[in-house]
Amino acid sequence: MIKYIAYCRKSTDEPDRQILSIEAQVAELEEFAAKENLKIVSFITESKTAKEPGRQKFAEVLEKIENGGAAGIISWHPDRLARNSVDGGKIIYLLDTGKLLDLKFPSFWFENTPQGKFMLGMAFNQSKYYVDNLSENVKRGNRQKLRRGEWPNQATFGYLNINKKIEVDKKRAKYVQKAFQLFASGGYGYADIRKFFNQNKIFNKSGHELHLDKVKRILTDPFYYGVMRFCGELYEGKHQPLISKKLFDKCQEVVKLKSRKVKNNKHLFDFLGLVKCGECGGAITAEMHTKNYKRTNRTVEYVYYRCSKKKGACSQKYIDKEEIQKQLKEIVLRASLPPHAAKKFLEWADKDVSQEKDKSSRIISTYQLQLKETEEKTDRLLEGYLDKIISPEDYQKKKNELVETKSLLSSKIKEISTNGVEWLEPFQEFVNSALSAQKIARKGSADSELRFFVQNIGSNFFLKDKQIIVEWEKPFASLRAWAGARATDPVPTEMSRSVAGLGLEPRIFAFRGRRPTN
């Protein structure tokens, strides 16, 4: 009497509701075996797709057949055994070699004859065709959704799937926005952003804290400024953006800084290339010296920066790394804002916004014209691709650039239509950046973060007589003028209510001789 192994499988990604559950398959096979007087030596069940080879439990079935533990297989249908050519070929090969003597199916006839194996092969091929066709239909449906601006997958963190649409998650969205603002300032790492989420009780769906990789994916996902990235290609989305493209791009600069790989961190000189010699204009180089203290039996490394003197004779002497750190942190502190001053600045900005909404129509018209030109370029690019004038790689690269440009123009038009001014968002970013300056300047902050921040607030750094000289960028230059006064006056003197003058509009960022009023 032939011994049979009963194999039951149900994949979670199979949409066909007519496929029986594993429990139902087991019951059907027991009833079928009793009716046909078949001896089942074991039941093997598995919850895994058969689209690709590599199922562990199915491999156990074949191993038992090859070892003589059984000579037959019972299953609900041939598609339970295989939906790919490799696994189907293994079954037929075992029949050819005589190690597998029989197959039984309640819903399919099989006889171990050339005609029976031919029909079995047809059933396996039909199952494979079903999977391949289903996959192609899903891909086609996804592409169509993306063309309509609809996200075909699970909603991104900060959004929700509601009635087959992507809606903003009101609980998480504001914290995602704040996370981008904090990270763009350069003073916060991935761990800091996770800590920020934890402090505000923003967790993943399982209630656990976000993994650092998840935090990085959030901060590098263009979905948040209105563009969907799917299989390397960008599409315009209809969902509501949470941030601007400008803020997103600023975050990507920080990501690049934090992602750079160095073979030996010991010999990483973070301040190289930042400062030039103030006497001869030559490059500043760095070198490391090691000193061994015999009494304490310890070795200490010291880093020094000096003029490379490649432009000729130069009298400038070296300066140690700690002194450069100290001076750069002092520069950062002079570009910082206390919370109460930042709050007052934002209040003044809101008042200026309400007065300038009537002046925005001309700017909007210009951006709309640029948006129309970008859309025409996109159409011409698609025609070139369809006519096979442009390669798929060049098409995807250029299309991504045009999608980003359209998103940027659309966000500017929306911002001006809503606020009436274009400088509001950059001003808010400036305030948030100035707020984070104190955190950057604190003891223990990473040199890479310190360098990134000082590059945002100034340019043309020179080192002369062991002193760093910096040319301040306009918004932060105004803060420098009253940085000393804050040490003795807890409330800053009032700045002009024309806060757009921070280099974002051609106005004067001046001081008044009176305190701000509530």
Q: Which domains does the chain have, with CATH numbers?
A: 3-144 (3.40.50.1390), 148-260 (3.90.1750.20), 276-360+420-518 (no CATH)
As a whole number of angstroms, the longest Cα–Cα distance in the chain is 105
pTM: 0.50
Say what the pLDDT of residue 496 is: 40
Of residues 190 and 473, more confidently modeled:
190
Enter the tokens of residue 508: 């004067």
Enter the tokens of residue 206: 């399982």
Which tens digits make up the pLDDT trace of 171-210? 999 999 999 988 887 767 888 899 889 988 999 888 899 9
Say what the pLDDT of residue 380 is: 86
Q: Quote the crossing angle between the two packed helices 447-457 and 245-259, to the nearest 10°.
A: 140
Q: In this structure, what is the dihedral angle of CA atoms 121, 126, 127, 131, given to the nearest 10 degrees?
A: 140
d(CA 493, CA 479): 11
d(CA 66, CA 228): 50
Mean pLDDT value across residues 494-508 = 40
Say what the pLDDT of residue 377 is: 87
Q: Quote the crossing angle between the two packed helices 212-219 and 245-259, to the nearest 10°.
A: 140
What are phi and psi for residue 209, nearest 5 degrees? Answer: -65, 155
Enter the tokens of residue 279: 């006497």
Say what the pLDDT of residue 507 is: 38
d(CA 91, CA 84): 11
Over its C-alpha atoms, the chain yields an Rg (Å, rounded) of: 33
pLDDT above 90 as % of the chain: 27
d(CA 225, CA 104): 56
* Average pLDDT of the chain to the nearest whole number: 81
Which tens digits make up the pLDDT trace of 149-176? 888 888 999 999 998 889 999 999 999 9
Q: Is 335 a residue whose pLDDT tops 90?
A: no
Q: Predicted confidence band at 18 (pLDDT cuts at 50, 70, 90)?
A: low
d(CA 415, CA 364): 10
Number of helices and strands in the chain (H, E): 18, 14
Q: Is 100 a residue whose pLDDT tops 90?
A: yes
